[in-house]
Structure 1
Amino acid sequence: MDYVNRKRPQPKKGAGKGKGKRGAAAKANTQKVAKPVPWLIVILALVLIGGFAYLLYQINGKGEEKAAAQKLDTSKQAIDQLPELPEERWQYIEELENKEVQVDVPELQAGPPKLMQCGSFRSQSDAESLRARIAMVGLESQVRASEGSNGRWYRVILGPYETKRAAERDRHKLQRSQVFGCAIWNWNLD
């Protein structure tokens, strides 16, 4: 139901015109009686607000000036009471200037060469298409056929890499080019 656009009900004929107390009360409710404004209270409120504003204006900033002056006096007294600076008793500064620290760093032992396998396929055409995608990245790969217990597989291999870090660097290049699933192994080329 649309309450906003509906029409208000019309009063019944004869309502409020009846005789007696009901009719007079209904008339009194329809007419608003203006109450006199209490001017004394309004004037008193304005005087109080003005007095409060004047008081705030008078005390504004006086506390900060007193605190700043007091702080300045205490800092002057503190400077006057400071003892003389003691002589430096630390000698490590002069001692360490002429010293050299020698550290023995063991050399990294190079492990076996690393190979990265990026795919293993049943058909040579799938392996060659992955090899072409890798070539588009700028890396050289090989397709090697291997015989297993479950048939012939074509593996796409990159490497050999001397360190795992070099293999990881190429793997991240391939991942940025949407070639995923490359694994780094300690394999021999034999």
Structure 2
Amino acid sequence: MDYANRKRPPQRKPAKGKRGSQKQTERQVPWGIVTLAVVLVIALVAGLRFIAGGNPDVVPPTSSESHLPTPTNNQVEAIPEKPEERWQYIEELENLEVEVDVPERELGPPKLMQCGSFRSKSDAERLRAAIALQGLEANVYRSNGGSWYRVVLGPYETKRAAEKDRHKLQRARIHGCQIWNWNL
């Protein structure tokens, strides 16, 4: 159905002689709701004045109308002296030395990092060259009777040094390097 080009339905004409239908179309003001809204606004204003603190008709006295006696020079009290500190821990902490026992770090076995294991020596040499471009030295070792070629970096004294080189290789998009406690 074409809603854009459709015709309006014919309008019904009101029956002649009935004035009640015209009265129904006029809007009547709901005076009850208007009265309730006015009462609520007045209550809100009164509540805010009560919260604000006092009667709005009473004017506070000015300084010239004040009935308080003014102090004379004899009546003014001197400011008391600063009391002496009763805490002495501040001085004690400044002169205190703290002794800490730091155990020496035990070095475990040397760490080696393996970055790849290949069937062909040419693939292992290609990875070794990519590692050499990052400034690190890798070695290619035969394993499993000469059927596998491993690309290994190290030995490292600490795991932290091996992790440093591994992160350097990861930034160069060489992933998959594993750190092991190996001896060659």
Change (3 A) 1:99 1:167: same
Alignment counterpart, residue 159 of structure 1, candidates 126, 139, 154 = 154
Where does the alignment leave 5 or more consecutive residues of structure 2 unmatched?
55-59, 61-80
What are the equivalent positions in structure 2 for 1:97-176 lying under 5 Å apart?
97-148=94-145, 152-176=147-171
Percent of residue pairs bearing the same amino acid type: 61
Structure 2: how far apart are the matches of 1:121 and 1:35? Answer: 93
Structure 2: how far apart are the matches of 1:129 and 1:108? Answer: 38
Deviating more after overlay: 125-134 vs 165-174: 125-134
Q: TM-score scaled by structure 2?
A: 0.61
Structure 1: how far apart are the matches of 2:150 and 2:27? Answer: 102
SS at match of 2:101: coil
What one-letter code is carried by the residue in structure 2 that aligns with 1:173? K
Structure 2: how far apart are the matches of 1:147 and 1:33? Answer: 102
- How many pairs does the alignment contain? 152
Aligned to 2:16: 24
Alignment counterpart, residue 90 of structure 1, candidates 87, 91, 94 = 87
What one-letter code is carried by the residue in structure 1 that aligns with 2:16? A
- Could you report, residue by residue, the CA deviation over 1:21-76 in whole angstroms, capped at 9, with x for unpaired residues? x85269986x78996999xx8xx98xx69x95xx68x9599649xxxx9xxxxxxx
Q: Larger helix proportion, structure 1 or 2? A: 1
Where does the alignment leave 5 or more consecutive residues of structure 1 unmatched?
17-21, 70-83
RMSD of the alignment, in Å?
Answer: 4.3
Q: TM-score scaled by structure 1?
A: 0.60
Aligned to 2:7: 7
